[in-house]
């Protein structure tokens, strides 16, 4: 089996390569842009057949330069939700994806691609349907526009595709190998480093009708994201657009207390509750940033109806289990 992974040195891409390697699959063409050279660390321990720069890959693939490719995991994108350059965003997230889709359909190559829960934006419902889609930024729109093209060309559940096409609307993914993402890394990653350097973690204060730290997201552990992607690799008859979250929203306070207690326990201290952590100064609420007002999702929760309808019954980790595993991993890296 020959596989292409775009964004292969990134967070989700490198973990997909790792998941493929765990199955004994190493005939993998890794595609990325290593201008940020430190991203090589995400690939260094992995087994791949070749590396191709993203600037070269899409034209080469369209010309069938790599022979018959069985499947593409398309994770390459600009994922910075604060990026304001719409032309850059659309070129990277829409145009290149369209070109890749066309080439995959022509060559009979299966396509699994990254969409985003940012397509829902200001919505209060999170179903894979147009009435729920209200992006708040150009990143969310760039992802939505590609989903819309897939629906228009392939049908509402991509049933008219020549070969498998599956899109995944990732919710708040966290876990190992996201260190290169800087400000876009998960809250768990930032809180780990805050606690190590300052002895406390920081959360946004009251906003959007939610109490301090009470904004809720569907936090999904990277191992679960990889497992669902690989489930679709095993089920080539399943196409469509699917939410990929746990289906259960939890407050940011749950992430913070999981980080605090995991690190406390490593120092021989017993776990504490959120109220005591706040009283003790271990959790610090900061004013909500003015730059995010009107552009911030205070609540997300994946509706998993369509995912479950495929037969995918993967059991997702909750915040306590996933964050604890992640903090344990981060401690081993330091």
Our CA angle for 58, 61, 67, nearest 5°, is: 165
| Closest by CA position to 170, among listed 13, 6, 328, 334 | 13
d(CA 61, CA 334): 39
Q: How far is CA 51 from CA 18, 47, 101, 137, in A?
A: 15, 11, 20, 32
Q: At 221, give phi and psi (nearest 5°).
A: -75, 140
Active-site residue list: 139, 181
Q: Regarding beta strands 165-170 and 283-286, do their DSSP bridges make them parallel or antiparallel, or are they unpaired?
A: unpaired
DSSP lists the bridge partners of residue 219 as 172
| Closest by CA position to 99, among listed 128, 133, 72 | 72
């Amino acid at each position: 089996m020959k596989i292409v992974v775009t964004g292969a040195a990134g967070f989700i891409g490198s973990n997909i390569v790792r998941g493929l390697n765990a199955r004994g699959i190493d005939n993998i063409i890794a595609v990325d842009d290593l201008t940020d050279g430190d991203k090589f660390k995400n690939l260094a321990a992995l087994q791949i057949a070749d590396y191709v720069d993203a600037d070269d890959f899409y034209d080469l693939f369209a010309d069938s330069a790599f022979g018959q490719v069985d499947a593409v995991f398309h994770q390459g994108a600009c994922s910075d939700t604060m990026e304001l350059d719409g032309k850059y965003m659309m070129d990277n997230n829409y145009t290149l994806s369209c070109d890749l889709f066309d080439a995959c359909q022509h060559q009979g190559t299966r396509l699994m691609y990254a969409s985003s829960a940012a397509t829902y934006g200001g919505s209060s419902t999170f179903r894979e349907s147009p009435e729920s889609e209200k992006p708040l930024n150009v990143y969310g729109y760039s992802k939505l526009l590609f989903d819309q093209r897939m629906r228009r060309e392939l049908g509402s559940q991509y049933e008219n595709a020549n070969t498998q096409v599956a899109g995944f609307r990732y919710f708040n993914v966290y876990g190992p190998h996201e260190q290169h993402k800087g400000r876009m890394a998960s809250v768990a990653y930032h809180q780990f480093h805050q606690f190590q350097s300052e002895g406390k973690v920081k959360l946004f204060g009251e906003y959007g009708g939610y109490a301090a730290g009470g904004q809720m997201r569907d936090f999904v552990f990277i191992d679960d994201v990889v497992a669902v992607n690989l489930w679709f690799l095993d089920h080539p008859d399943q196409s469509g657009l699917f939410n990929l979250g746990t289906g259960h929203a939890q407050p940011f306070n749950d992430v913070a207390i999981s980080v605090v207690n995991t690190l406390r326990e490593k120092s021989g201290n017993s776990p504490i509750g959120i109220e005591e952590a706040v009283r003790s100064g271990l959790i610090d609420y900061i004013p909500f940033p003015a730059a995010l007002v009107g552009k911030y999702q205070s609540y997300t929760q994946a509706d998993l109806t369509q995912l479950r309808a495929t037969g995918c019954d993967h059991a997702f980790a909750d915040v306590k289990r996933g964050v604890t595993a992640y903090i344990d991993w981060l401690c081993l890296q330091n």
